[in-house]
Structure 1
Amino acid sequence: MTTTADITGTTATGHSWWESDARTRASRLEALLGDPYDPANPHGLRALFAADARSVPPAATEELLAGTDLGAEFVPVEYGGRLTRADLLARVLRPVFRRDVALGFGYGITSLFATGAVWAAGTPAQRRGTADLLLGGGRATILHHELAHSNAILRHEFTAGTTPDGYRLNGRKDVIINAARADAQVVYARTDPARGPHSHSVLLLDPARQDNPSVRHLPRVPTPGMRGALFSGLEFTDHTVPADARVGSTGEGVALALRTFQVNRSLICGVVTAAADTVLHSAVRAATTGRSGPIARRWHKPLAGVFADLLACDSMATVVLRALSLLPDRAHVFAAAVKYVVPDLLRENLEELATVLGARGYEHDSPEYGALGKLVRDLPVAGLGHAGTASCQSVIVPQLRGLAEHSWFQEAEPPPELFRQGAELPALDYRLLGLAGGGDFMAASLVGSADRLASYRGLGGQIAALAALAEGFLTELRALREECRRLPAYGTTALADPAVCVLSDRYSLIVAAAAVLGVWEGQDGRDPFLANPAWALLALSRLGERLAIPVPELPDGCLAQVMDELVRRFRTGRSCDLDGITLAQ
């Protein structure tokens, strides 16, 4: 078995062994999946789009992924898997999501979402058995996801009454991903009829023991997006469950969901940006095809702007995924903020790219241009729609008064390793994940960044504009503090007030700005483009416009620098995220 002690250390390039190994695995998977635009590639976009049109999983690509032991990515390293840190897992999964969000969910990532509760609170036997299942190529699914009400587990879908030997499970759920082919089921069931934080418990079920009339498999449910994923239902009628199937304590289900969802929310945002990356490449292709000269100037603003937004999304997601290892008891609110901001940015980005793609964006079977329509359909089904926004508000709003009174402008900055690529971080340990109440390290980071940039405001150029923007976001945080201090003592009562929910919009955009500034400051110079302020300046300008704060004019050359980098990455076949990895072609 591989242990944590076996794989620590730093390589000659300055990256941790874990990070270098994740880069290698990601590159290997990218190469195995091959050129996505090759019409003869059985794992290319043409084949994946065809499977989506038939509403079937891409069998050949699932078989290829099985050969890579992808399930090991979801098993902690202490149990023989490859899961060391959440940010590195996102990096490894991006080649899959770059091609097909439905494949990423249907084949793999759902197993991690399901088993998070086991890694957080399972017995040694449950953890070992779950690890063996995933390492052997098995799948797990989670039985509380409901598209109509955004993963809300406080619904009466499943109830589990106690018996002398365990539980009797009843209830029905019509939309469960991989319900018919999962090898383990993690059920969030009501075990207490009273409403409250201790109403639900988690049960780990073995479908192999369900060949009896108490379990009924329901028909497949067609979905408007992620059509290649298999959604169907399950109905339990007085199904007996042994006592040792419970994960954690009785009534711990809500707390386990809240703790593990911060991994799920952040990880989704960290991988779906790769799918948007594909659409951006399509748009650059559309803008360059048939032209011998530079891209038409009218496309510079949308293309460079979306590129900057993707870097901002990646900054947010990467920072919170790293925080899950470095600050596991303090990442809860920030994880909700990431899930709040990133889907909105991606939806807006797709609208901008649609103007560049024009009629090509409707060529749904085209490997060069069909990614736009597919991603527009897939994002809401992947939990990145309006209902997901409401669930994030329910996490953020109740914390705002406490943060305003006790954290903002009072808390120390987080460790600089949070923002430094290649820095060694602890392993992700689900058992250490905490809930709200741990302060706000991102607001503290914004204060520090703005203070350090303040001395550059009179110098002119990009660095002065960046300093002005940082101060603008800091001013917005001061205003937000005053408003949040007037919120009701128990913020959940404010969720029905649209004016209060707007505060979560403002807060989330502020922490997005903090992430961009932190990542820019954390550069070590190995990537000259990321070390240059142009991308951060453009990203912050766009965030500032969304927040309606004063935004200075972009200095001369800023937009051109970002545009030049985008075209360079397109022509050299590199991704449009912070990593800029070489893509298969």
Structure 2
Amino acid sequence: MTAVSDHASVSAAVPDDVALTGAADAGAELERRLGDPWDAANPYGFRALLQAEERSELLAPAEEVLTACGFGARLVPAALGGRLTRADELARAVRPVFRRDLALGFGHGITSLFAASAVWAAGSQAQRAHLAGLLCGGGRVAIVHHNLAHGSAVLRGELAARPGRSGGYALSGRKDMVINAERADALVVYARTADAPAPGRGSHSVLLVDPAGLPEGAVRALPRKVTGGMRGCHFSGFDFDGCPVPDDALVGAEGDGVRLALRTFQLNRALIPAAAIASVDTALRGAVRAQLGSGRADFGRHGPLLAGVFADLLACDAFASATLRSLHLLPDSAHLAAAAVKYLVPELLRDDVEALTTVLAADSTDAALPITRALTAKLLRDLPAAGLGHAGTAACQAVIAPQLPLLARTSWFRAAEPPDAVLRPRGELPPLDLGALAVAGGDDFLAAALNATAGRLRDRRDQGAYERTLAAYARGFTAELWALHDRCAALPAGARPDLSSPEWCALVDRYALLSAAGAVLALWERCRDDGTFTGDPAWVLLALSRLAGRLGLDLPEPPEGCVARVLAEVVARLHAGTGYDLHRTPLAEGEDLP
């Protein structure tokens, strides 16, 4: 690897001269400061990150770099003095962290955004200013969820906030698994404030709590628990015993907790899969390096797999990008796409990483192969622990399933095509307003995009082999949407879904796959003439053929030469040091590849 000479010194404060105004600038700055991760001498590289995980710690020098680069300010709205204006830009800005270590991305502070989002959406001016200053200054905020947020027994536990004797609230209950609990400078607590048989409207409220200001004896810090995945992250918890919390700790109105959670989770659900794409980029990059080191220039039987994983990453990026942009432009409808992204993209990413392990099992002269194998094994452990496993899937099923009958009756094949700005991966957006997001209703804009794109492909007469195949694919996906429409429309109005039922799970699964197909087709159509690889139909055909395989659709095979075209781009990007994403992002990589 090429030696890295620019491992910058860092300080604990955010420097005044760090002015990152856009995603490209922010990502480039982090890439430069963190250096080539494959370089064994890099103190922030893969070798150092893996050694830190063996100690069940995050890499402290890397955390210092993130603090010095103003990572916390990226999580604060620009109106409050931070640098957060666009959800899609935030995803791109944090990818340099996630491509090095998923646990570092979570443990250093992206979860602070999940906590602070409720305050950004509904907090008082004083609360918002307090958290903004804290995060811009390098502090952390921890979130103490209620049961609605997850579906795994290990994460359960709930707090109750009852009226205090001298006003305010008395907080009681225990929560064992809170990320950064002992490192947090503020807590955002979802607590039950009204009795109800189950969490629902009015049952929970949000409290902004200063852990340093709590009276001794009213709260007990619980010991750290080292998890199988994301071992470096600090998970511990709290046991509250009538802990007094002042009136001004209440965020929004009493009883707003569930609605605030459903509103702000939309950003989390789309952002984390978008960032995690960069983690799988690393696994693919390592697998390609290993194959180049094996002496097989044509990649042999592994070629279609490597090309397919790359196509999946672009498809996931298209799906996540459209969803993140919809938070700005379609606040009434974004909740559906956000749940679908969180439901499907982690599954695609996990399957791709597992497939890449077969490539890494082969012999190779690549000196970095042991590191690549260790990184891939770590990623397979980290993805479920990051909420990209069953717990996240169940929560998203609970959002999507109840809306399917209504979508079939009122939206599919009826809704207007969304604005182009939702589906293009570039272009200006209005500032993100979390308080404007709806939690139900709206149109299915990705289904509308699928229908509109399929119609235009059908009507084109100047098609080559690739576009004729694309048109056949579009017809196949549209026919499958009609089939889903008929199944969902036949369900009783207001039907309560049984999420343990294979039938309901299959409906959600098919819905998410069709949504992804709509995002991919619509993005390609808008980029077809821009001269970038995004506009090349080859990757779209591969991506759609893989989605069609999951749906069991009988569609034509991609044209001859399709895999070779995509594989050539995979190799070109490796040698150019650019990312396997829609933007071909420049990476800090050495040049002495196999």
Residue 425 (structure 2) aligns with: 421
Residue in 2 that maps onto 1:117: 118
Letter in 1 for 2:471: A
Verify: 1:574 aligned to 2:578, yes or no.
yes
1:83 equivalent in alignment to 2:81: no
The Cα of 1:547 is off from its aligned counterpart by 0.5
Distance between the aligned counterparts of 2:149 and 2:117, measured in 1?
Answer: 23
Deviation, 1:491, is 3.9
1:497 matched to 2:497? The reply is no
Give 1:390-409 correspondences, 5 Å limit: 390-409=394-413
| Unpaired stretches in structure 2, ≥5 consecutive residues | 1-18, 590-594
| Maintained 8 Å contact 2:578/2:584 | yes
State yes or no: 1:202 paired with 2:206: yes
Tell me the alpha carbon deviations over residues 374-424 of structure 1, each in whole angstroms, 9 at most, x when there is no partner: 100000000011121111100000000100000000110000011223321
AA in 1 matched with 2:214: Q
2:130 aligned with 1:126: no
Report whether the alignment pairs 1:545 with 2:545: no
Between the aligned partners of 1:311 and 1:145, the Cα distance in structure 2 is 34
Structure 1 residue 217: deviation in Å?
A: 0.5
Q: In structure 2, how many angstroms separate the alpha carbons of the residues matched to 1:228 and 1:360?
A: 30
Q: Cα 1:329–1:554, aligned 2, differ >3 Å: closer, same or farther?
A: same
Distance across 2 between alignment mates of 1:71 and 1:170:
30
1:15 corresponds in structure 2 to none
Partner residue, 1:557: 561
- Matched with 1:337 is 340
Mapping of 1:328-477 within 5 angstroms?
A: 328-358=331-361, 366-456=370-460, 459-477=463-481
**1:67 paired residue number:** 68
Percent of aligned pairs with the same residue?
54
Kindly tell me the number of residue pairs found equivalent between the two proteins: 566
- The answer to whether structure 1 residue 324 and structure 2 residue 337 are counterparts is no
Note the C-alpha offset of 1:287.
0.6
Report the equivalent of 2:95. Answer: 94
Return the alpha-carbon distance in structure 2 between the equivalents of residues 425 and 284 of structure 1: 36
Aligned to 2:175: 173
Three-state SS of the structure 1 residue aligned to 2:361 is helix
Contact kept? 2:188, 2:206, Cα under 8 Å: yes
> Residues of 1 paired with 2:363 and 2:83: CA distance?
40
Q: Does 1:248 align with 2:247?
A: no
Report the counterpart of residue 50 of structure 2 in structure 1: 49
Shift of 1:150: 3.3
Partner-residue secondary structure (3-state), 1:295: coil
Distance 2:460 2:359 in 1: 36
* Aligned partners of 1:465 and 1:555 also within 8 Å: yes
Describe the SS at the equivalent of 1:492: coil
Which range moved further: 143-152 or 266-275? Answer: 143-152
Cα-to-partner distance string for 1:284-312 (whole Å, 9 max, x where unaligned)? 01111142x62322111100000000111
Are 1:584 and 2:585 counterparts?
no
Moved more, 494-503 or 395-404: 494-503
Answer with 415-424 or 349-358: which moved more: 415-424
Q: Is the 8 A contact 1:456 1:467 kept in 2?
A: no
Whole-Å separation in 2 of the counterparts to 1:306 and 1:203: 43
Instruction: Compute the displacement of 1:457 (Å).
Output: 7.7
Instruction: Report the Cα offset of residue 322 of structure 1.
Output: 0.7
List alignment gaps of at least 5 residues for structure 1: 1-17
One-letter amino acid matched to 1:143 = V
Contact 2:354 2:380 in 1 (8 A): no
Q: Which residue number in structure 2 is paired with residue 227 of structure 1?
A: 231
Distance in 1 (CA, whole Å) between partners of 2:380 and 2:279 is 10
Instruction: Note closer, same or farther for the CA distance 1:435–1:337 as it changes in structure 2 (3 Å cut).
Output: same
Counterpart of 2:487 in structure 1 is 483
Contact 1:159 1:170 in 2 (8 A): yes
The Cα of 1:329 is off from its aligned counterpart by 1.9
Give 3-state SS (helix, strand or coil) of 2:99's partner.
Answer: helix
Quote the Cα distance in structure 1 between the aligned partners of 2:482 and 2:62.
51
Deviation string, structure 1 residues 22-65 (Cα, Å, up to 9, x no partner): 21111111111100011110100000000011101211111111
Contact 2:408 2:489 in 1 (8 A): yes
Contact 1:141–1:184 (CA<8 Å) still a contact in 2?
yes
Distance change >3 Å, CA 98–CA 154, structure 1 → 2 = closer
Alignment check: 8 A CA contact 2:517 2:544 kept: yes
Q: 3-state SS of the aligned residue for 1:99? A: coil
Report the Cα distance in structure 1 between the residues aligned to 2:481 and 2:461, rounded to whole angstroms.
19
Distance 1:326 1:128 in 2: 26
Partner of 1:522: helix, strand, or coil?
helix
**Are the aligned partners of 2:497 and 2:504 in contact in 1 as well (CA < 8 Å)?**
no
User: Separation in 1 of the partners of 2:233 and 2:369?
Assistant: 18
Contact 1:457 1:465 in 2 (8 A): no
TM superposition shift of 1:20: 7.1
Residue identity opposite 2:220 in structure 1: R
Which residue of 181, 184, 196 maps to 1:182?
184
Structure 1 Cα separation of the partners of residues 102 and 155 of structure 2: 27
One-letter amino acid of the structure 2 residue matched with residue 442 of structure 1? L
What is the deviation of 1:365?
9.6
Letter in 1 for 2:91: A
SS at match of 1:494: coil
CA RMSD, Structure 1 to Structure 2 (Å): 2.2
Tell me how far apart the structure 1 counterparts of residues 191 and 323 of structure 2 sit (CA, whole Å): 29
For the 8 Å contact 1:201–1:252, the answer to whether it is kept is: yes
By how many angstroms is 1:525 displaced?
3.8
TM-score, normalised to structure 1's length?
0.93
- Tell me how far apart the structure 2 counterparts of residues 132 and 58 of structure 1 sit (CA, whole Å): 25
Structure 1 equivalent of residue 14 of structure 2: none
User: CA contact under 8 A between 2:318 and 2:523: conserved in structure 1?
Assistant: yes
**CA offset digits 1:180-206 (Å, max 9, x no partner):** 010010000011111332211000000
- Aligned partners of 1:171 and 1:359: how far apart in 2? 51
Separation of aligned partners in 2, 1:147 and 1:440 = 24
Question: What per-residue deviation string (whole Å, max 9, x for no partner) do you get for residues 103-158 of structure 1?
Answer: 00011201000001001111111111111111111100100177994389996510
Deviation at 1:426, TM superposition (A): 0.8
Counterpart position of 1:14: none
TM-score between the two structures when normalised by the length of structure 2: 0.92
- What residue is the counterpart of 2:136 in the other structure? 135
On the 8 A contact 2:321/2:425 being kept in 1, the answer is: no
Query: Quick one: structure 1 residues 539 and 169, their matched pair in 2 at CA, closer, same or farther if it must change by over 3 Å?
Result: same
1:83-104 superposed Cα distances (whole Å, 9 cap, x missing partner) = 0011000000000000001100
- Letter of the 1:144 partner, please give it: H
With over 3 angstroms needed to count, the CA separation of the structure-2 counterparts of 1:365 and 1:221, relative to structure 1, is farther
Range with bigger deviation, 372-381 or 488-497? 488-497
Cα separation, 1, equivalents of 2:93 and 2:173: 36
Alpha-carbon spacing, 1:430–1:154, altered in 2? closer, same or farther (3 Å): farther
